[in-house]
Structure 1
Amino acid sequence: MLNKYPLWKNLLIVVALVLACIYAAPNLYPPDPAIQVTPARSGAEMSEDVLARVRSALNGNQIEFFGEEVKGSTALFRLTATDKQLPAKDAVQRLLGDEYIVALNLAPTTPQWLLDLGAGPMTLGLDLSGGVHFLMEVDMDDYVKGKMANYREELRNRLREEDLKYRRVQQDGDKLRISFVDADVRSKGAAFVARSYPEFIQSSEDGEYADLVLAINENKIREFEDYAIKQNLTTLRNRVNELGVAEPLVQRQGRNRIVVELPGVQDTAEAKKILGKAANLEFRLEAEPGASRFATEEYGFRSEQFRTARLEKKVITTGDSVTNAQPSFDENGFPQVNIDLDSKGGAVMTQVTRKAVGRRMAVLFVERKPKTTYEMVDGKEESKTIQVVEKSIISLATIQSTLGSSFRITGLESAEASELALLLRAGALAAPMYFVEERTVGPSLGKENIEQGMNSVILGLALVLALMAIYYRLFGLVANVALLANIVILIALMSMIGATLTLPGIAGIVLTVGMAVDANVLIFARIREELGNGRSPQQAIHEGYNRAFLTIFDANLTTLIVAVILFAVGTGPVKGFAVTLSFGIITSMFTAIMLTRAIVNLIYGGRRIEKLSIGGKA
Structure 2
Amino acid sequence: MLQIALWKRLAILLVCVTGLMLAAPNLFYGPVERHNDALTALERGAISTPEIEDALAEWPDFLPSGLVNLGLDLRGGAHLLAEVQLGDVYAARLDGYWPEVRDALREVRAEVGTIRRQDGAPDELRVRISNPDGLQTAVTAVRALAQPIVSLTGVGQTDISVSGAGDVLTVTLSDAEKAATDDRTMQQSLEIIRRRVDEAGTREPTIQRQGADRILIQVPGIGSAQELKELIGTTARLTFHPVISRSVDPSTQPTADQLLYPAMDEPDRFVLLERTPVVTGDDLVDSQPAFDQNGIPAVTFRFNPAGARAFGVYTAENIGAPFAIVLDEEVVTDPTIRDAITGGSGQITGQFGVEEANRLSILLRAGALPAEMTFLEERTIGPELGQDSIDAGQIASLIAMAAVVFFMIASYGLFGVFATVALGINVALIFGALSLIGGTLTLPGIAGIVLTIGMAVDANVLVFERIREELKTAKGPSRAIALGYERALSAIVDANITTFIIAVILFTLGSGPVRGFAVTLGIGIVTSVFTAIFVTRLLIVFWFERRRPKTIEV
Which residue in the other structure is 1:247 paired with?
204
Which stretches in structure 2 are left out of the alignment for 5+ residues?
Answer: 34-49, 147-157
Structure 1 gap ranges (5+):
32-70, 74-107, 367-390
Q: Does 1:573 align with 2:513?
A: yes
Cα distance between partner residues in 2 of 1:601 and 1:265? 49
Report the Cα distance in structure 1 between the residues aligned to 2:169 and 2:262, rounded to whole angstroms.
38
Q: Provide closer, same or farther for how the CA distance between residues 523 and 513 of structure 1 changes in structure 2, counting only shifts above 3 A.
A: same
**Partner residue of 1:85?**
none
Q: CA deviation at 1:25?
A: 2.6
Tell me by how many angstroms 1:250 deviates.
1.0
Instruction: Please say if residues 241 and 278 of structure 2, whose CA atoms lie closer than 8 Å, have aligned partners that are also in contact.
Output: yes
Other-structure match for 1:238:
195
* Match runs of 1:258-337 below 5 Å: 258-264=215-221, 266=223, 271-287=228-244, 294=254, 299-303=261-265, 311-329=273-291, 335-337=297-299
Map of 1:209-220 to 2, 5 A cutoff? Answer: 210-220=167-177
Q: Which residue of 2 aligns with 1:611?
A: 551
Structure 2 partner of 1:177 = 126
Establish whether residue 138 from structure 1 lines up as the match of residue 84 from structure 2: yes
2-structure distance, mates of 1:577, 1:194: 56
Deviations 1:64-113 (A, max 9, x none): xxxxxxx979xxxxxxxxxxxxxxxxxxxxxxxxxxxxxxxxxx9xx967
Q: Partner of 1:68 in structure 2?
A: none
Alignment partner of 1:25 is 2:27: yes
The answer to whether the 8 A contact 1:509-1:580 is kept is: yes
Q: How far 1:231 sits from its partner (Å)?
A: 1.0
Q: 1:406 aligns with which of 310, 320, 344?
A: 344
Q: Structure 2 counterpart of 1:244, which letter?
A: G
Q: Which structure 2 residues correspond to residues 475-554 of structure 1 after superposition, within 5 A?
A: 475-494=415-434, 499-545=439-485, 552=492
AA at the equivalent of 2:165: E
For residue 311 of structure 1, report the CA deviation from its aligned partner.
Answer: 4.1
Contact 2:105 2:142 in 1 (8 A): no
Alpha-carbon separation, structure 2, partners of 1:559 and 1:404? 63
**Distance in structure 2 (CA, Å) of the matches to 1:462 and 1:507:** 16
Q: Is the 8 A contact 1:4 1:606 kept in 2?
A: no
Q: In the aligned structure 1, how far is the partner of 2:225 from the partner of 2:96?
A: 36
Q: CA deviation at 1:428?
A: 1.3
Offset at 1:226?
1.7
Q: Deviations over 1:156-188 (max 9, x none)?
A: 122234556342232402223232343442112
| Matched AA of 1:476 | G
**What is the CA-CA distance between 1:549 and the residue it aligns to?**
5.4
C-alpha spacing 1:400/1:578, structure 2 compared with 1 (3 Å): farther
Please state how far the C-alpha of 1:148 moved relative to its aligned partner: 2.2
Match of 2:404 among 464, 488, 496: 464
Cα distance change of structure 1 residues 343 and 159 upon mapping to structure 2, 3 Å threshold:
farther
Distance change (3 Å), C-alpha of 1:11 and 1:566? closer
Alpha carbons of structure 1 residues 428 and 535: separation in structure 2 relative to 1, 3 Å: farther
Matched, 1:397 2:397: no
CA distance 1:175–1:503, shift in 2 (3 Å): same
What's 2:359 paired with? Answer: 419
Q: Find the counterpart in structure 1 of residue 112 from structure 2.
A: 165
Q: How many percent of aligned residue pairs carry the same amino acid?
A: 37
How far 1:406 moved relative to its partner? Answer: 2.1
Please list the CA deviations of residues 356-399 of structure 1 after superposition, one character each: whole Å capped at 9, or x if unmatched.
12333321110xxxxxxxxxxxxxxxxxxxxxxxx323334343
SS in structure 2 of the partner of residue 212 of structure 1:
strand
Show CA shifts across 1:211-231 (max 9, x none). 233444443333322221111
CA drift of 1:612 comes to 2.3
Give the superposition deviation at 1:445.
4.7
Q: Contact conserved, 2:83 with 2:374, CA < 8 A, in 1?
A: yes
Distance 1:289 1:114, change over 3 A: closer
The CA distance in 2 between the partners of 1:188 and 1:552, in whole Å, is 81
What SS is found at the alignment partner of 1:178?
strand
1:150 maps to which residue? Answer: 96
Residues 492-514 of structure 1 show CA distances to partners (whole Å, capped at 9, x for unaligned) of 55456654321221122123224
Instruction: Identify the range of structure 1 (193-202 vs 153-162) with the bigger mean alpha-carbon deviation.
Output: 193-202
Aligned to 1:594: 534
1:154 aligned partner, one-letter code: E
> So what's the TM-score if we normalise by structure 2?
0.78
Q: Are the counterparts in 2 of residues 250 and 260 from structure 1 also a CA contact under 8 Å?
A: yes
Partner of 1:437: 377
Contact 2:241 2:274 in 1 (8 A): yes
User: How far did residue 27 of structure 1 move?
Assistant: 6.3
Task: Report if aligned partners of 2:248, 2:270 keep a CA contact under 8 Å in 1.
Answer: no
Deviation, 1:235, is 0.7
Displacement of 1:324: 2.9
Query: 2: CA distance between counterparts of 1:423 and 1:554?
Result: 52
Q: 1:28 to 1:252 in 2, by over 3 A?
A: closer
What is the aligned residue count?
512
Q: 1:515 to 1:114 in 2, by over 3 A?
A: farther
1:419 Cα deviation from its structure 2 partner: 1.8
1 CA distance for matches of 2:467 and 2:30? Answer: 38
| Partners of 1:148 and 1:176 within 8 A in 2 | yes
Partner of 1:327: helix, strand, or coil?
Answer: strand
Question: Could you say if the C-alpha distance between residues 551 and 346 of structure 1 is closer, same or farther in structure 2, counting changes exceeding 3 Å?
Answer: farther
Q: Residue 403 of structure 1: SS of its match in structure 2? A: coil
Q: Which 10-residue stretch deviates more, 279-288 or 541-550? A: 541-550
User: C-alpha distance in 2, partners of 1:10/1:320?
Assistant: 53
Residue pair 1:336, 1:408 contacting (<8 A) in 2 also: no
Evaluate the alpha carbon distance shift between residue 549 and residue 425 of structure 1 in structure 2; reply closer, same or farther with a 3 A threshold: farther
- Residue 317 of structure 2 is matched in structure 1 by 355
Q: Which amino acid aligns with 2:317?
A: K
Q: 1:187 aligns with which of 133, 136, 144?
A: 136
Instruction: Report the 3-state secondary structure (helix = DSSP H, G, I; strand = E; otherwise coil) of the residue aligned with 2:368.
Output: coil
* Distance in 2, Cα, partners of 1:528 & 1:305: 86
Alpha-carbon distance, 1:233 to partner: 0.9
Which of the numbers 326, 332, 341 marks the counterpart of 1:364? 326
Looking at structure 2, the residues matched to 302 and 549 of structure 1 have their Cα atoms a distance apart, in angstroms, of 73
Structure 1 length normalisation: TM-score? Answer: 0.70
Kindly tell me: are residues 531 and 474 of structure 1, through their superposed partners in 2, closer, same or farther at Cα, counting changes over 3 Å? same
- Note if 1:205 corresponds to 2:168: no
| d(CA) in 1 for partners of 2:30, 2:294 | 48
**SS of residue paired to 1:137:** strand
Q: Distance in 2 between matches of 1:333 and 1:558?
A: 64
Task: Specify whether residues 339 and 546 from structure 1 end up closer, same or farther in structure 2 by C-alpha distance, changes over 3 A only.
Answer: farther
Q: Secondary structure at the match of 1:534?
A: coil
d(CA) in 1 for partners of 2:290 and 2:214? 36
Contact 2:19 2:432 in 1 (8 A): no
Distance 2:163 2:393 in 1: 64
> Contact 2:19–2:433 (CA<8 Å) still a contact in 1?
no
Contact 1:2/1:606 (8 A) holds in 2: no
